Amino acid sequence: MTTTTVEKAPRKQGMYEVVMEQFAHAADIMDLDPGVRKILAKTNSEIVVHFPVRLDNGKIEVFTGYRVQHNNALGPYKGGLRYHPTLDIDAARALAIWMTWKTSLAGLPYGGAKGGVEIDPKQYSQGELERITRRFTYALGDNIGPDLDIPAPDVNTNAQIMAWIADTFSSTKSPSTRFANLHVVTGKPLGAGGLEGRDRATGFGVVANLKTWAKIHKHDLKGMRFIVQGFGNVGYWTAHFLLKEGAILIAVQDATATLHDEKGIDPEALLEHSDANGRNIKGFKGAKEMEPKDFFALPCDIVVPAALGNQITGENAGGIKAKVVAEGANGPTNTAGEEILRKNKVDIIPDILCNSGGVIGSYYEWLQNKRSEIWKIEEVLKMIHDKIDTSFTQVIATSAEFKVDWRTSAYIVALRRLEKTYKERGIFP
Ligand code: NAD
């Protein structure tokens, strides 16, 4: 297995600048308390670990992992772990900050964090990934914990990786606390304390948001044509649930290919192909390959970015002809891209609202573990739907109050809750 990908990888996605611009804009408009603004402009702690792992070829490689804890005024830190070569301290910071806004907006008792390992996991065997994950967990030590900081899956991490983290974390504690520690992570497999429905929670939530959006505009999702960037957890489940509403998937892009078929692509057949092909869509026979650069300009009604940050930019936003961009990914639209979309009257369902189904699902998994209960998928999906409805209603009301776009109003709802908490509680000492 090669170990040189980290050095060769493209660095920096520029997401930190985007989140800080969004924050400054909302803080100005709502006139956020200056002290609270200072606190929220910084991350509480930033953990960088370097840890050795023996690879299958017998050689030792040293990996770099991150955990940035932005804010915990509302509860334990919460946020995913990403395994990707573009992960660096700035990306972890930006993603941690977005988590603070997201959990606050959703009304959850959580703060915001994010992290991961700077690797291309496709370069490593399953055994190597297990050792990397376990050693990363060990290196994080007591910086994570079920009442302190609770990671979850993100790009290139999944239920299996969460199970290894839970097992490593609890195995390094006293045996008497083993089961009290399993909820150090969410997004676990069902047999390891996972929640039925957590796997689909983010995509389900994206579609719950789109249903509300359609209701507001008196549109019918049935017959609407949509495109999805990213065909992992969020992209697949969004396509799955949008098809149930009668919408038609006409194009999908992932890191390996861009596929197009005006008659419609079957996401279930595409998933089967992708699962058998290292989670890549390339080579799928049910659609034609097209130029990646023309993807966002395809005529359609709904665009779902569900891959990485900064994908809709000043360069390509002008080509978007859709009615709405539903941000499944975190930070997919940069500031220049957003301005163009707004000028062209393309609605944006902002990431901190649109993809919040994932962290809401995680919250219910954590509660289920804490209470030693097992819940049914129908109850879970209904609870996620209700919470998203509540958030969207608040975002619409606040958007009318301040006469601002949905992203800014989502920020204002989130920041008001944090501001209130700081004002009531005061600052120690
Ligand atoms: P994943 O690893 O399951 O899938 C990522 C997908 O993006 C893959 O299909 C990959 O090929 C594709 N991709 C990577 N680079 C690309 C590129 N340059 N161009 C096009 N496609 C590319 O990840 P996921 O869990 O589905 O996460 C996707 C996004 O959703 C991320 O921004 C993540 O932060 C966000 N998110 C995830 C969750 C969750 O519950 N998993 C929750 C909220 C937000």
Ligand 1 closest atom vs CA 362:
40
Output the pLDDT for position 7: 38
pLDDT in tens, 86-142: 999 999 999 999 999 999 999 999 999 999 999 999 999 999 999 999 999 999 999
The mean per-residue pLDDT over the stretch 309-316 comes to 97
pLDDT at 6 over 90: no
Q: What is the mean pLDDT of residues 49-76?
A: 98
- Ligand 1 contacts (CB < 6 A) are 153-156, 202, 229-235, 253-255, 306-308, 328-330, 355, 358
Of the pLDDT bands very low, low, confident and very high (cuts 50, 70, 90), residue 288 is: very high
CATH fold of the domain at 42-190: Rossmann fold (3.40.50)
- Residues 383, 359 contacting (CB under 8 angstroms): no
pLDDT, mean of residues 341-370? 97
User: Would you state the structure tokens that stand for residue 154, as one six-digit string?
Assistant: 């993100």
- pLDDT category at 12 given cuts 50, 70, 90 is low
Domain ranges in the chain are 42-190, 200-354
Least confident of 66-80, 172-186, 216-230, 365-379: 172-186
Ligand 1: which atom is nearest the Cα of residue 231? 9
Under the banding of pLDDT at 50, 70 and 90, the label for residue 362 is very high
- CA–centroid distance, residue 195 to ligand 1 (Å): 21
Q: Which is the closest atom of ligand 1 to the Cα of 201?
A: 40
Best substitution site from 234, 289, 364 to test ligand 1's pocket, by max atoms within 8 Å of Cβ? Answer: 234
CA of 51 to the centre of ligand 1 (A): 25
Asked if pLDDT for residue 3 goes beyond 80, the answer is no
pLDDT digits 0-9 by tens, 174-223 = 888 877 888 999 999 999 999 999 999 999 999 999 999 999 999 999 99
Strand order in the sheet with 225-229: 288-289, 258-260, 248-253, 225-229, 302-305, 324-326, 347-349
DSSP collapsed to 3 states, the chain: CCCCHHHHCCCCCCHHHHHHHHHHHHHHHHCCCHHHHHHHCCCCEEEEEEEEEECCCCCEEEEEEEEEEEECCCCCEEEEEEECCCCCHHHHHHHHHHHHHHHHHCCCCCCEEEEEECCCHHHCCHHHHHHHHHHHHHHHHHHCECCCEEEEECCCCCHHHHHHHHHHHHHCCCHHHHHHCHHHCCCCCHHHCCCCCCCCHHHHHHHHHHHHHHHHHCCCCCCCEEEEECCCHHHHHHHHHHHHCCCEEEEEECCCCEEECCCCCCHHHHHHHHHCCCCCCCCCCCCEECCHHHCCCCCCCEEEECCCCCCECCCCHHHCCCCEEECCCCCCECHHHHHHHHHCCCEEECHHHHCCHHHHHHHHHHHHHHCCCCCCHHHHHHHHHHHHHHHHHHHHHHHHHHCCCHHHHHHHHHHHHHHHHHHHHCCCC
Q: Rounded mean pLDDT of the chain?
A: 95
Nearest C-alpha to atom 32 of ligand 1 is from which residue?
A: 329
423 is known as an active-site residue: no
Question: For residue 75, what are its two tokens?
Answer: 């509860």
Q: Quickly state the pLDDT bin for 368 (edges 50, 70, 90).
A: very high
| Res 142: pLDDT | 96
Looking at residue 414, its pLDDT comes to 98
Cβ contact 357:186 at 8 Å: no
CATH class of domain segment(s) 200-354? alpha beta
Q: What is the pLDDT of residue 98?
A: 98
| pLDDT one-digit tens code per residue, 235-274 | 999 999 999 999 999 999 999 999 999 999 999 999 999 9
What are the tokens at 130? 């297990």
Q: Please give the distance, rounded to the nearest whole angstrom, from the Cα atom of residue 326 to the centre of ligand 1.
A: 14
C-alpha 308 – ligand 1 centre gap (Å) = 6
Q: Whose CA is nearest to atom 23 of ligand 1?
A: 155
Nearest CA to ligand 1 atom 40: 358
Q: Are 323 and 9 in contact (CB under 8 A)?
A: no
What is the structure's pLDDT at 176? 85
pLDDT at 9 over 60: no
CA of 240 to the centre of ligand 1 (A): 16
Tell me, yes or no, if the two domains 42-190 and 200-354 fold the same way.
yes
Catalytic residue among 78, 114, 211, 387: 114
**Residue of 19, 82, 154 with the most ligand 1 atoms within 8 Å of its CB, for mutation:** 154
pLDDT of residue 94: 98
